[in-house]
Amino acid sequence: MPEKSSKGLFAWAMYDWANSAYFVMIQTFVFAAYFAQSIAENETTGTALWGNMIGLAGFVIAISAPFLGSIADEGGRRKPWIAFFTTLCVIGCSMLWFAEPSSDFIWFALSMAFIATLGAELSFIFYNAMLPDLTTSLTIGKWSGWGWAMGYAGGLVCLIIGYFGFVEYGADVFGLDEGSLQNVRITFLFTGLWYALFSLPMFLKTEDVPSKNKSMSVAVKDGMRELKNGIAMLKDEPNIWKFLLARLFYNDGLATIFAMGGVYAAGTFGFDTGQIFMFGIALNVTAGLGAFGFSWLDDISGSKTTIVWSLVGLIVPVVAVLFVEAELWFWVWGLLLGIFVGPVQASSRTFMGRLAPQDKRNQMYGLFALSGKVTTFAGPVMVGWITLLMDNQRWGMSAILLLLAVGLALMLGVDEVKGTTREEVPIIQN
């Protein structure tokens, strides 16, 4: 590829490095566990409240994503949207520094985490839509996988710095008060700064599509019309809607793992903050290796094949994690699960790029986000309420297994495709 294109793609992948800080530090590991253990009245209530917040955010994202994608298609450029939602997430993460370990801060903490979640998730609609215009059918799978691998590498480095730089030695080096958990809370401020800093290469080096020079009102009007047409178009695109339906389920399972994994480790296995950091570090290593290693499989064997085998690779460890009692086996199966998290996410992004008409990619990625978010509130809410009813986190987390299994079954009915444009997309029938 031309040197300029390669630099732009690497800068694009750096945004995954930046964005991953939110997911590892706020949504999955550190803040989620901190909220359940130190802010909520007890871990059972904390699990339910956290699940409900993630669910509500998922609902808002689901109903707004297709509209935003359609508007962006009509307006042309994607970077302004990414910049806005990145700023939203940076503010939300940074404000969590003020969420002290007291039940008085429950609603403040949930509100700021809600804002951060919206920013992180909605920015990815426009970020994902950039990839097919930056690469070709020969390398789209590789770059999508490398992007996810960069994300896990970024999450890994962020966790290492957060733990050793602040949690473990923050009191000695920076004079942070461990009694009010300032050594933990400062990692949330660090997350916001990380996201802001490492998103800059994408804004500076990656090419954006040209503006269509439409006013916002015209873009909104045209976008709403195109959204209606896009949804209607799905009737004539069975492979797209079958894929989106399958992803609706298996992505809900993944989202629930991310949202509730840290809370589960803290509540069922008694992980403290240090152990959660170390588990997060190890999990990001296996997830990054999986995303990097499977990136070539996507281009060689196809996105569908990669997704199917990754889902099988997720289901087995999930079953094991629900039943094991020893902390050692939780580590073993949890890290094995991480290997398959990256490939299923990266190949799903690639598959949408292969399926989407070239002039409707923002819109299709909006529907892609819809399929990933329209019911994501269901998984965390199911976990929260089942946990409350059964007074047992294992029963609550069993909802993940059902979501992954249904997604796998539906994915088997989707046809494989190659290429990234309508002209180069042969269908490989099952």
Evaluate if residue 256 carries a pLDDT over 60: yes
Contacts of 3 (CB under 8 A, 6+ apart): none
pLDDT for residue 73: 66
Kindly report the CA angle at 324 between 323 and 329, in degrees rounded to 5?
145
Top mean pLDDT of 75-79, 339-343, 406-410, 426-430 is at 406-410
pLDDT classification of 1: cutoffs 50, 70, 90 = very low
pLDDT of residue 387: 72
Provide mean pLDDT across the span 331-356. 82
Least confident of 14-18, 144-148, 422-426: 422-426
Q: What is the mean pLDDT of residues 305-318?
A: 90
pLDDT computed for residue 358 by the predictor: 66
Number of Cβ atoms within 10 Å of the Cβ of 67:
16
Q: HSE-up of 183 (CA within 13 Å, CB side)?
A: 20
- Judge contact between 259 and 102, C-beta under 8 A: no
Q: Which residue has the higher pLDDT, 354 or 419?
A: 354
Q: Among the ranges 244-248, 257-261, 299-303, which has the highest mean pLDDT value?
A: 244-248
Residue percentage of the chain with pLDDT more than 70: 81
More confident residue, 101 or 224: 101
Q: Tell me the mean pLDDT in the region 122-127.
A: 85
Angle at 213 between CA 208 and CA 215, to 5 degrees: 120
Most confident of 47-51, 80-84, 287-291, 302-306: 80-84
Q: Measured between alpha carbons, how far is 154 from 377 in angstroms, rounded to an integer?
A: 27
- Lowest mean pLDDT, pick from 59-73, 183-197, 315-329, 368-382: 368-382
Q: How confident is the model at residue 339 (pLDDT cuts 50, 70, 90)?
A: confident
- pTM: predicted TM-score of the whole model, two decimal places: 0.72
Cβ-based neighbours of 308, under 8 Å, separated by 6 or more: 408, 411, 412
The whole-angstrom distance between residue 71's C-alpha and the CA centroid of its chain comes to 22
Q: What pLDDT score does 423 carry?
A: 43
pLDDT of the residue at 5: 65
82-101: pLDDT as tens digits: 999 999 999 999 999 999 99
Higher pLDDT, 405 or 43: 405
> Could you give the C-alpha distances from 111 to 34, 92, 151, in angstroms and in order?
15, 8, 25
Band of residue 328 on the pLDDT scale cut at 50, 70, 90: confident
Give CA–CA dist 237/40, Å, rounded.
Answer: 46
Question: What's the pLDDT tens digit per position in 360-399?
Answer: 666 676 677 666 666 666 666 777 677 777 776 677 777 7
The pLDDT tens digits of the residues spanning 169-207 come to: 877 778 888 889 999 999 999 999 999 999 999 999 888
Helix (H) or strand (E) holding 146: helix 140-160
Q: Mention every residue, 6+ apart, whose C-beta is less than 8 A from residue 169.
A: none
